[in-house]
Structures are given as C-alpha cells and as structure tokens.
Structure 1
Amino acid sequence: MPLLARTVMTPLAIDVRRGAVADLGPILADGRISSGGDVAVVVGPGQGERIAELIQPSLRSADVFTVSGGTLEAADDLGGKLRARSYDAVVGIGGGKTIDVAKYAATRRGLPMVSIATSLANDGIASPVASLVSDGIKGSYGVHIPIAVLVDLDFVESGPERHNRAGIGDVVSNISALADWELAREVRGEPVDGLAASLARMAAEALLSHPGDMADDAFVTVLAEGLIASGLAMAVCGTSRPSSGGCHEIMHAVDALFPETASHGELAGLGALFCTWLRGDRPRFAQMSACLARHNLPRLPSDVGLTDDQFVRAVQFAPRTRPDRYTILEHLDLSPEQTAQRLADYGDALRNHLN
C-alpha cells in the first residue's frame, strides 16, 4: 500500500496568550505529561524564578533548578541533577539560553520537555536544536522538540523590548534561508521539503506584512507563533535548513570572531538582508529592509558596532561555520575585495534609497 500521508511530530499543546502560565498544571495533566506535578523546573536569571513561584502551588512535587549561561557544561551539569529522582518531564522557563540548556538535558535523559518562553529573541522556543557554547565556540545540537510550548504575553511584555524585537529578525531571515535552500536544489540537487518550507515562509510573510509593533498584542502573537512555526519547520524536515542559510552563517561567524556583538536575532536579520542584496533580489531586499527599519533592527554593520572591515572578515569566515551547507555565500565565493565592494554598494543603497 502506498504511503498516503506522513506523521509529523508536533507539541501536544501550543498556548500563546496572556495568562497562559497559570494553566500549566492543567496542561500537564490534560496532556498526560504529568498528573502529579513530578517535574523538574529549570529557570534562568530574571523572570524564570518569578514564574516558578507562580506555578509551584499547582506543582507541589516539582524541584526547581537554576541554570546560568547557555553552555554545554551547564546542560551536562543539569543532566546529572536530573538523575536524582524520577521525573515526568522537564519544564524550561526563561530565554533562549535557559530553554536550550533544558532541551539538551531533557533529551539526554530521555524526558519530555515543556518550553515556557519569557523572551521572543529567537526561534529556539520550539525547535529541535539547542545552541550551546563549548570551549568558547557555539555549536548546534539535535534535541527533541518540546512536548508543549507556552508563551505568556504578560511575561514577554515585562522583558527587555530589544530582546523581543530581535525575534523579528530571526523570523524574517527565513526568507533568505529558503532562497538559499532553493539555490542548493538548483545547483547541487539538494532536496527541499515543501511542508517545512511552507511553514517557514508563512511565518516570515505574516511578519513582513503585519502593520503592528511590539506594543500590539496581535503583532506579538504573530511573532511568537512565527518563531514556533520556524522551529516546527526544522522538526518537520530534520534539519535547520528552512530557517538557517547564509544569514545564520554570518551570524555564527560574528559570534566566533567578535563575541557579544549583538543577539542571535539581530545578527540573523542583518545577515539575511545582506545575503538578499548579494542575491540581487531588489524587491525582496526593499521589503525586508523596510520591515527591519520599522522595528528598529540593525541593517548596517555599524548598527551592531562592527566596522565594514570586521563585517567583511565575518562574511569571509562564514562558510566555515557550516561546511556542509550551500548558500549564496558559497555560490558567489567572493574575495575579500569583492565582498568589501558589495558591502559598500549595499550601504549606499540603504543610506540613499531605502531609509
């Protein structure tokens, strides 16, 4: 019998709204994730501890663990603590670093993981990838997608606006990543998963065309759902391809060469805009540039404190961060001098025509 459809792994519950955290206990019980609240709650510095206090009355058997820094060492240390007793699940509460540590530790222990995001800085909320630092180098590790995802807009609103706005750059970068994926199909015959591509594209298009901003619940909901959809797109095809191309190669290169320059989402958006310029897609470039400008996100190297020479170095280094990936950067294979000239033209276009 032919295979008529495929089964796609998705979270049992996705809840994006104000007050979502208060329903964590019922969500765990209704989903048969944990009926008695025997869970390990993992929090980071900041709002995570506040939320842990809020949910503890309904999860009286929970143990709370505090982690700091998104490192492989922190994730391994947490994994050791999870051996102390039998848990039904791991509940990660916080920003991207805390969520990634919890995802990695839960996967290594074979436990389901619930993601409660207090920040919308990147698409790690529901992705099958944990970005962790080991020996000063950030690496990507395959993990199980969360069994449930909660985004409480009350806590997102309380967080730093710059962190939340950064997620816009990460979702918008899907446009460039998908163009790179299509390029890899044309040049190398790499298969493109249509369902994964559709999820990633819908997430980006919804943000590009939305007139709202971070003060608008409807817009923030679209952003949160876009980040979740981007993560699910990766889970559908088993690779980060739908949401990661030359844009993320540049981001990883900046992280490696000039640590702490800017956030994941800010650099992804900047990298995506530059890659779109290299691709010669001027209508898309104008659309993406207008979106980033509207939300006060970086478009030029100087916006994140980099000189043009430093950005050229990052672009040259970028393909080394993902040696197996084919993007517009590998396709053009520009010399440092050619990259500098393209960057100068890109800067002129932004300053003179698209502000």
Structure 2
Amino acid sequence: MPSPVFVEIRAGALDSLGGILADRRLSAGGRIAVAISGGSGALLRERLEPALPRADWYRVADGTLDGAVRLADEMRRGHYDALVALGGGKIIDAAKYAAARVGLPVVAVATNLAHDGLCSPVSILDNDAGRGSYGVPSPIGIIVDLDVIAKAPKRFVASGIGDAISNISACADWELSHAVTGEPVDGLAVAMARSAGENMLRHPGTLDDPDLLTTLTEALVLSGIAMNIAGSTRPSSGACHEISHALVELHPKRPGQHGEQVGLGAAFACHLRGERELSGLIVERLRFHGLPVTADQLGFTDAEFTEAVHYAPNTRPGRFTILEHLDLSATDIRDAYADYVQALNS
C-alpha cells in the first residue's frame, strides 16, 4: 500500500525534526534542503536553524509552477538526502513537484491544515493557463506539530474540515459512476476517504480543541493515502471539487479557501442526489465551524454560482459525478439551488 513511512502528529513534534529525520534514516548527517514560505516558514526557520546546521534553506515565493521549477533548479546545486517542505499547502505542493524533478523524497511539515494536499500524490500549482493538477510522489513522511497548528488562522483549520467532509460526497459520486458507467471502485480507498469525512462530520469539538486538530490531521492523511491507493484523486474529488474548480476558473480574482468552496459544493451535491438529510448534516457542521453554506457567504451571487455549477463538468473531462449524471440546464441548476437555500431556512 503506498503510504508515508512515518507520520508524527503531536505537540512539540517540530522540535524533534532533526532527530526524526535521523531516526528514520532519511538523513543521519543532516544534509537536507528545506523549502519555506515567506510567512510562517520564515518565522520557524529562526527556531529550527540551530538544530539543522547542515541544512540549506530555500524561500518559495508562491504556489506557481514557475516557482516550483525554480526551486528544483536551485536544489540541483546541492547533494541532499531529502527535501523538507515547511509551510502551508502552496509550499508543500511546490516542494512535492520540485522534489519529483530532482528525485528527492519529501517530508511534509505542515504549519496549517487548510486542505488534504498534505499527503496527496498531486500538486496543485498556478500556471499561465490558470491552475493545473500535477501527479507527483506523495510525501515519505508527515510531521504536524499541534502547537504550531493551534496558532494558525482559524479560517485555515476550518477550511481543512470542509475539505475532509467533502470526501463523503466525492465517494458517493464515485459509487454513482460505478452503478451507471461501470467505473471500477476501490473499496479500501472509499473506506478510508469516507471514514475521514465521517470523523470530521461527527466530531463535536471546536476549532480550539486539540483533539479536533488531531482528528483533522489524521483525516487529511487518510485522504491522501486513499488517493494513493486509488491512483487518482477520485476518493476525495467529485462534484464538490468540480464546482470549486469552476469558481476559480471563472472568477480567478476572487479565490476563496479551497475547503470553503468544496464544503459548500458537497452540501449542494448531496442535495442534488436527493440525500437531503445528509446535506442538512453537512450544512450543520459547516455552520458550526463558521464555514459558508450559501454562494453569497462565499462572495458570489446566485447567478455566478449557477453558472459555475453549469460549467463545472468542463473542469474534469471524463469524471462522472452527479452533475454529469443529471446533465442539468442552467435553469434547472438555478431552481435546484433555490430549493437548496429554501431547505436551509426551513
């Protein structure tokens, strides 16, 4: 089963980074490259640099394809045992892509839990055409320091919850495709991805609860492993993600948090499948964590959201979800969304 060699989720894990790398025989001599952001990563460098005296540090400006290629080119000058990606999702995605180009294993050290790219075999990077999805090896190790995560903006934590919960809808779409088109389904991948989503849907904790942060981290790791098993993003990406991608493509200057968009997408997709009780449960949990449940709460008009849902199947050609199955007109989507909003207020 393709999965990380090690996963460390605990308070104070970051202080043991050097020891973890040595214990796992990744870099006993400390010859590592560290990719950091200009924000949280730069601040943590001051804390970690004394413990990693032989490491070379690389600043990654953004989550673009060009930035990832530059990082790879810069690392070719050194001889490293591994690349440590220290930061949020954009830095980790850029590092995964760069490491794939130079043949290095990646250890992902997350400073927030905004989405499931932490452990996935995919890098989402901005390019000249908008935003692309690139297949890469998944990280060989995951380190999450709960003390660091507790200091991250609460919006990022909530976004990760939305992304994890959306697995429930993505798995339902995959099973729908199996029933209608005969697409093969990997039962283990579904079990892991759906369990991750259900764990977050049922968890009673708030964003300040250390147990919720642990459960969320585990859920995001499980989602990544499920994608590795499936060989694609299928267990964690269905109509919910198509809607999110459409919003980004049609309105690139108004990008919201990925988890916020897919959370709303999941609730609406469940509504379209006739799973009204499940849609209501998802809405309830999203609201509990301050996540948007309507288009206007995301900063979009009803007409813009309707347009995005109508366009959504174009973002993943060949992927079959409830949107492709129903093949709704723009008018049908507008009416379905109005019904969804009415159900929220009933």
Mark yes or no: TM-score above 0.5. yes
Deviation of 1:30 (Å): 1.2
Q: Which amino acid aligns with 2:57?
A: V
User: Match for residue 312 of structure 1?
Assistant: 306
Report the Cα distance in structure 2 between the residues aligned to 1:113 and 1:344, rounded to whole angstroms: 45
Q: Residue type of the partner of 2:58?
A: F
1:10–1:147 Cα contact (<8 Å) kept:
yes
Unpaired segments of 5 or more residues in structure 1? 1-7
- Indicate which of 52, 70, 85 corresponds to 1:59: 52
Partners in 2 of 1:283 and 1:300 — Cα distance? 17
In 1, the alpha carbon distance for the partners of 2:87 and 2:169 equals 28
Q: 2:77 aligns with which of 80, 84, 90?
A: 84
Pair 1:163 & 2:131 matched: no
Q: Match for 1:190: what amino acid? A: E
Using the size of structure 2 for normalisation, the TM-score is: 0.98
The amino acid across from 2:321 in the alignment is T
Is residue 131 of structure 2 the alignment partner of residue 138 of structure 1?
yes
Q: Deviations over 1:210-261 (max 9, x none)?
A: 1101111001110111111101110111110000000000000001111233
Contact between 2:267 and 2:283, CA under 8 Å: does it hold in 1? yes
Aligned amino acid, residue 19 of structure 1: G
TM-score (norm: length of structure 1): 0.96
Cross-structure match for 1:3: none
**What corresponds to 2:201 in structure 1?**
208
Q: What is the identity, as a one-letter code, of the residue corresponding to 1:107?
A: A
* Structure 2 residue aligned with 1:345: 339
Residue from 170, 173, 180 that aligns with 1:187: 180
Q: Give, in whole Å, the separation in 2 of the partners of 1:136 and 1:296.
A: 32
The structure 2 residue matched to 1:149, chosen from 142, 145, 157, is 142
Q: Which residue of 2 aligns with 1:4?
A: none
Q: Secondary structure at the match of 2:219?
A: helix
Equivalence for 1:23: 16
Residue matched to 2:43: 50
Check whether the contact 1:261–1:305 (CA below 8 A) recurs between aligned residues. Answer: no
- Conserved in 2, the CA contact under 8 Å of 1:312 and 1:339? yes
How many residue pairs are counted as aligned between the two chains? 345
Deviation at 1:136, TM superposition (A): 4.6
Letter in 2 for 1:40: A
Q: CA separation in 2, counterparts of 1:83 and 1:317?
A: 41
| SS of residue matched to 1:159 | coil
Q: CA deviation at 1:209?
A: 1.0
Residue 246 of structure 1 is matched in structure 2 by: 239
Q: How far apart are 1:46 and its partner, in Å?
A: 1.3
- 4+ aligned runs moved over 3 Å, structure 1: none
For residue 111 of structure 1, what is the aligned residue in structure 2?
104
Deviations, residues 24-60 of structure 1 (Å, cap 9, x unaligned): 1111111111011111100012111122222222221
SS at match of 2:14: helix
CA distance in 1, matches of 2:41, 2:318: 36
1:262-277 equivalences in 2 (<5 Å): 262-277=256-271
In structure 2, the gaps of 5 or more residues are: none
Distance 1:328 1:224 in 2: 28
Please provide the CA RMSD for this pair: 0.9
- Is 1:283 matched with 2:277? yes
Q: What secondary structure, in the 3-state scheme, does the structure 2 residue paired with 1:215 have?
A: coil
The separation in 1 between residues aligned to 2:41 and 2:11, in whole angstroms, is 16
Q: Distance in 1 between matches of 2:138 and 2:44?
A: 22
Q: Which residue of 2 aligns with 1:256?
A: 249
SS in structure 2 of the partner of residue 173 of structure 1? helix
Q: Aligned residue for 2:65?
A: 72
| SS of equivalent to 1:132 | strand
Give yes or no for the alignment of 1:321 onto 2:309.
no
Residue pair 1:37, 1:62 contacting (<8 A) in 2 also? yes
Give distance in 2, aligned partners of 1:316 and 1:196: 28
1:85 deviates by 1.5
**Partner amino acid, structure 1, of 2:322:** I
Q: Percent identity?
A: 50
Residues 201 and 282 in structure 2, CA contact (< 8 A), matched pair in contact too: yes
